[in-house]
Amino acid sequence: MTLIRSREFARQKRSLDVFARANRGYVYAISRFDDDDSTICTFGSMGYRDDPIKTGIGGVAPVTLLSMKNNNKVKASDQIMGGFVAGTENIGLGKSAVRNEQQGGAHAEELFLRKLPQMFDEFGEASKIDLFISRIPCANTSASWSLAAPGGNVLLPCGCGNKLTAVIQANPGITWRIWWEEEYPNATTQAACVAALNGLRGRAIVERYRG
Ligand SMILES: [Zn+2]
């Protein structure tokens, strides 16, 4: 039975949808390994705001605000200093990656990808991974970063659709099935996201979730 037909998925989705309705911009993902509901994990990403709530600990660095305003597009020439983004690294081919001990990247898909090595440790090698995402993966609004993997670091390009493609390519022998639910309201943004997902053709089964 696929993830979206499982009762445990329905239970998790119901409660995450309640949270999403109360928190504009909240996007979440639900993953499962090998049809086993005990491996279900959820990942939630709060929406970016231009008026972030400052917390007692940490808060939001001005540089984070700057990069938010720049749509997270980081160029090799940028010299960004701050608590969250230390700088950029030229990685060849005219591309740059964010270099930081705690790299950015907190879209729901990125949180999933970040935890993936740990899930392989915990659940063992998977032959099948199901992933539900409450909004279509972005085309280019998440910056590039590198994911530590047993076979060497995998460079993840800009955009969550592209990141998923890179990780799926780097982990052969797994049947991936991905559902996304909401569209972006802006037609141009949505079209770019759909185009980015074309990279997954032949590598994953990608469908829109319709309940
Ligand atoms: Zn994204």
Q: Give distance in angstroms: CA of 140 to centre of ligand 1.
A: 7
- For the stretch 154-200, pLDDT in tens is 778 888 999 999 899 888 899 999 999 999 999 999 999 999 999 89
Residue 91's closest CA among 43, 152, 156, 35?
156
Residues 124, 130: Cα–Cα separation, whole Å = 15
Q: Give distance in angstroms: CA of 11 to centre of ligand 1.
A: 24
- Among 104, 132, 147, the domain boundary falls at 104
Structural domain count, the chain: 2
Residue 168's closest CA among 108, 116, 122, 133?
116
Q: Give distance in angstroms: CA of 120 to centre of ligand 1.
A: 22
- Among 61, 80, 104, the domain boundary falls at 104
Same domain, 139 and 198: yes
In the numeric block, which tokens belong to residue 52?
């972030």
In the numeric block, which tokens belong to residue 34?
């090998």
Q: Give distance in angstroms: CA of 142 to centre of ligand 1.
A: 5
Predicted structure pTM score: 0.76
- For the stretch 97-109, pLDDT in tens is 655 444 556 899 9
Same domain, 71 and 31: no
